[in-house]
Structure 1
Amino acid sequence: MIHSSRGGGGMPRFRHLVASAALAVAMSSTSWAQPAPERWIPTWAAPDVARVDQPAQTLGAAALAFPWASDVPEAVREAAPRQQLEVAGGSRLHFNDQTLRQIARISTGGTRVRVTLTNTFGTAPLRVGAAQVARRDKGASITAGTNRVLTFGGLAQPTIPPGALMVSDPVDMEVPDAADVVVDVYLPDDTAGSRSPVTYHPASWQTNYVSARGNHTGTVSFPVAATTAYRRSDGLPSASSFFLSRVEVSVSQPTAVLVAFGDSITDGTQSGLDQNRRWPNLLAARLAAAGIRMSVVNGGIGGGRVLEDGVGPNGLARFDRDVLAQAGATHATIMLGINDIGNGGAKPNPSVAELIAGHRQFIERARARGLRVYGATLTPFEGAAYWTPEGEAKRQALNEWIRSSGAYDVVLDFAAATQDPARPTRMRPEYDSGDHLHPSPAGYTAMANSIDLEAFRPASR
């Protein structure tokens, strides 16, 4: 019993305290209660790099249009000098009072969608005049009635500061697994005039579309003036994406998230334009067919390295942004190092010990966030332009460490899946795209099919 120093006051004060406690409990369970937060996961991603160039001709003229894309008007194709398309690294387009329509082949579907736009490498603000998301019909067209206006913190016309990104407010939009989602972004300003580095993904292997002048977000039949496709210096057609970092979906059931971290072999070089036959795409399809609920997003950048900057930042520098920052990430595959080895040539550096130390960093940083980490062996590359006997020795030594050290939770032996049994330093002829470095579509299929899906079932965690 609670006693009071004032006569006759003990019981009333006790009842008052009990009543106050009951009221506090009632308020905490009703008016103060917060609904369970939505669970968002990435279903498509494109790691960003900086494009630093001289201001190019903006698209009043169509000089940088891709003349082999079926959706580009004939007049535009005829006006595009072929030699201006033969550039390395990515599309050189700039934008001025134009709308970008970009295609994302998602992995896992959902009932609500949000989009992340990025100005990560920009040194000037990026003004967005409008943005929408929709389901794709075919080519540059969307399915009528599926478009949704995007806002960012309530703003329909956000400005993304230098070095920043912005996540859109969620919109109700049902999308199935393996669907094509369209993201429209209207850019009212001249990106060439700002002289800011352009934040983009150089090799999307997906044709994206650029409009005639004006805001054409949400338009069913898009007025195509050009595409983001280009011809590489080696003659291979590719395409780029711009200012688009992620597409996310809200999921109601437990869904794992795998981020495939790597270089051009993960990014999909030689897998074909608009084919969605990168090995992570093919793995996602196998997982879905096996009833394993897992979103697979691509964290590859062509030219990527573990230790040194290449087309983009080195792997150790970008790992947090491109892997650990992915919402709900549960798994990561690491396939990186062939460009460190190849560009090193016959030089002693980078050494195998340095490459192993880099891989150990990936493993420790991923595990600190609770991720399960899978190491992929490096595929054969004899015959590639930068192959050397010294580099081959490093590849084999690194692969042996990946296979036998026990450092990784699981090993994906892509080297064994693609090598020529008669000459293991080379790829099997049918798996070689012809450049002796990147697999052919059949080679990417062999890589995806070599993975034991049991390693991804929830019981295996």
Structure 2
Amino acid sequence: MQNLVMQDVVMRDLVNPQQDWAAAWTAAPQSPSTGFTPNWSQQGFSHQSVRQIVRVTHAGDEIRVRLSNAYGTAPLRITGATVARGAGGAAVEPGTVGRLTFGGARSAEIPAYGRIASDAVRLPLGRGEPVAVTLYFAGTTGPATFHAQGFTDSYRAEGDRLDAVSGDAFTERTESWYYLAGVDVAGGAPGPGAVVLFGDSVTDGFGSTPGADRRWSDALAERVEGPVLNAGIGGNLVLNDSSWYGERGTARFARDVLDQPGVATAVVLQGLNDIGFSEAHAQGHDRPTFHPAPVVSARELIAGHRELIRQARARGVRVVGATLLPLKGSDHWGPHAARVSDEVNDWIRTSGEYDAYVDFDKALAAKSDPDRLASEYDSGDALHPNDAGYARMARELARVL
């Protein structure tokens, strides 16, 4: 059924040969879970409107929205949806609200485990402009497919607020995104294809300033010409599925990276959780977030990276490997993690299997101790960069793109 839904979307695009969609924003879907901060994924929505604000990384004259029910066990009924330019908080610019349709209809039903794209609506947007996507659910959704760590506010209001310009009715907020998997644009100036950043919490932006768009994907978008898309999931693993942190990287790579309209380059930064969860568990950090926690060898992790390379090459996508960041002093650090991270990083640098590589390990390391994040780049947990660290990562990657 999922393939049928997407086939219908593609067929509608072919009716208008002028439509050449480019992904301008994305978030990787996750199954409903508790998360690190309060969210609405497990309770879902009923007779409520949800307004979500995202920044597009490509200009265009028309827009469409991609919605995902990837982890829904029943059909999802979207009563209505609108887009508008954001005006700060939950407010939108007057005169910019446009009604979204799906195959010409104002409402849509997404089958269990399915996804859908809206029809095109005219909304001229510049690169970096905020877009407000508002969804209204007249019925009860049940648990919601979402992206846990958005690090920016989403808003909820009672009743149908699709056309509301003021944000006053949207009195509730969380830092997650719901059902929203992508925003595409058309009609802009041609340019290079999209760069998709694939990884875990470092790519997701943990440690950056919430609400300030300071992830390394944001910093990179200020340095390169084409779209930059963030396909990170905090806690994600290359080799194992997690009830908290999404499907394993090798399983979700095609959906979250290769299926993005206009993707040209994938950047892989992943593996710290595969080698770090077992260390955290051994140190007595027996939290549900650190499961599954098998002891993973360098050989196994490299095999996972090779599978990602294979998938990218099969789709004609350039793939860049990123060395794992220093992690000494964090709850992921220990003798095994230290050894495996060194072995994996040496392979990324020297094997030539990636089309190119970027060396975050060396760029962000402390001068006095190469196994530790430099203090000026450390968000405070010895594992995740701060805003300055993410900006440095963007500078390093821009040199090899």
With normalisation by structure 2, the TM-score equals: 0.89
Q: Pairwise mapping of residues 367-406 of structure 1 onto structure 2 (< 5 A)?
A: 367-406=313-352
> What is aligned with 1:282?
219
1:397-439 Cα deviation digits (max 9, x unpaired)? 1011001110111111111111001101110111111111100
> What is aligned with 1:100?
50
Aligned partner letter, 1:302: G
> What is aligned with 1:73?
none
Residue from 117, 126, 146 that aligns with 1:176: 126
> What is aligned with 1:308?
240
> What is aligned with 1:265?
202
Two-structure CA RMSD over aligned residues (Å): 1.8
- Asked if 1:121 is matched to 2:66, the reply is no
Contact 1:52 1:198 in 2 (8 A): no
> What is aligned with 2:285?
none
Counterpart-to-counterpart distance in 1, 2:212 and 2:333 = 29
Query: After the TM superposition, which parts of structure 1 deviate over 4 Å for at least 4 consecutive aligned residues?
Result: none
Q: Once the 2 structures are TM-superposed, how far is the Cα of residue 394 of structure 1 from its aligned partner?
A: 0.5
> What is aligned with 1:144?
94
> What is aligned with 1:366?
312
- Asked if 1:198 is matched to 2:144, the reply is yes
Whose radius of gyration is greater, 1 or 2?
1
Contact 1:209 1:224 in 2 (8 A): no
Contact 2:135 2:162 in 1 (8 A): yes
Contact 1:117 1:243 in 2 (8 A): yes
Q: Once the 2 structures are TM-superposed, how far is the Cα of residue 161 of structure 1 from its aligned partner?
A: 1.0
Contact 1:90 1:203 in 2 (8 A): no
Residue from 244, 248, 270 that aligns with 2:184: 248
Counterpart-to-counterpart distance in 2, 1:226 and 1:309 = 35
Counterpart-to-counterpart distance in 2, 1:227 and 1:277 = 23
Question: Judging changes above 3 Å, is the alpha-carbon distance between structure 1 residues 452 and 208 closer, same or farther for their aligned structure 2 residues?
Answer: closer
Contact 2:57 2:221 in 1 (8 A): yes
> What is aligned with 1:236?
none
Counterpart-to-counterpart distance in 1, 2:314 and 2:44 = 40
Aligned partner letter, 2:258: L
Aligned partner letter, 1:124: A
Contact 1:374 1:409 in 2 (8 A): yes
Aligned partner letter, 1:227: E
Counterpart-to-counterpart distance in 2, 1:172 and 1:263 = 34
Counterpart-to-counterpart distance in 2, 1:284 and 1:131 = 27
Q: Once the 2 structures are TM-superposed, how far is the Cα of residue 307 of structure 1 from its aligned partner?
A: 0.1
> What is aligned with 1:44?
25
> What is aligned with 1:131?
81
> What is aligned with 1:320?
254
Contact 2:68 2:181 in 1 (8 A): yes
Counterpart-to-counterpart distance in 1, 2:179 and 2:55 = 16
Question: Judging changes above 3 Å, is the alpha-carbon distance between structure 1 residues 364 and 308 closer, same or farther for their aligned structure 2 residues?
Answer: same
Aligned partner letter, 1:247: V
Counting aligned pairs with the same residue, the percent is: 40
Question: Judging changes above 3 Å, is the alpha-carbon distance between structure 1 residues 179 and 378 closer, same or farther for their aligned structure 2 residues?
Answer: same
Counterpart-to-counterpart distance in 1, 2:322 and 2:166 = 42
What secondary structure is seen at the aligned counterpart in 1 of 2:61?
Answer: strand
Aligned partner letter, 1:328: G
Q: Once the 2 structures are TM-superposed, how far is the Cα of residue 244 of structure 1 from its aligned partner?
A: 0.3
What secondary structure is seen at the aligned counterpart in 1 of 2:145?
Answer: strand
Aligned partner letter, 1:262: G
1:2-51 Cα deviation digits (max 9, x unpaired)? xxxxxxxxxxxxxxxxxxxxxxxxxxxxxxx9863421011000000101
Aligned partner letter, 1:301: I
What secondary structure is seen at the aligned counterpart in 2 of 1:424?
Answer: coil
Q: Once the 2 structures are TM-superposed, how far is the Cα of residue 374 of structure 1 from its aligned partner?
A: 0.5
What secondary structure is seen at the aligned counterpart in 2 of 1:451?
Answer: helix
Aligned partner letter, 2:36: A
- Asked if 1:335 is matched to 2:269, the reply is yes
Counterpart-to-counterpart distance in 2, 1:437 and 1:450 = 18
Question: Judging changes above 3 Å, is the alpha-carbon distance between structure 1 residues 148 and 402 closer, same or farther for their aligned structure 2 residues?
Answer: same
Aligned partner letter, 1:91: N
> What is aligned with 1:448?
394
Counterpart-to-counterpart distance in 2, 1:35 and 1:139 = 35
Counterpart-to-counterpart distance in 1, 2:398 and 2:110 = 42
Counterpart-to-counterpart distance in 1, 2:389 and 2:45 = 37
Counterpart-to-counterpart distance in 2, 1:448 and 1:243 = 28
Counterpart-to-counterpart distance in 1, 2:200 and 2:308 = 15
Q: Which runs of 5+ in 1 are unaligned?
A: 1-32, 54-86, 230-238, 457-461
Counterpart-to-counterpart distance in 2, 1:242 and 1:35 = 29
Residue from 104, 125, 128 that aligns with 1:154: 104
Contact 1:99 1:216 in 2 (8 A): yes
Counterpart-to-counterpart distance in 2, 1:244 and 1:137 = 19
- Asked if 1:187 is matched to 2:137, the reply is yes
> What is aligned with 2:354?
408
Q: Once the 2 structures are TM-superposed, how far is the Cα of residue 223 of structure 1 from its aligned partner?
A: 3.4
With normalisation by structure 1, the TM-score equals: 0.78
1:177-204 Cα deviation digits (max 9, x unpaired)? 011011000011223xx4xx42000000
Contact 2:84 2:133 in 1 (8 A): yes
Counterpart-to-counterpart distance in 1, 2:386 and 2:380 = 8
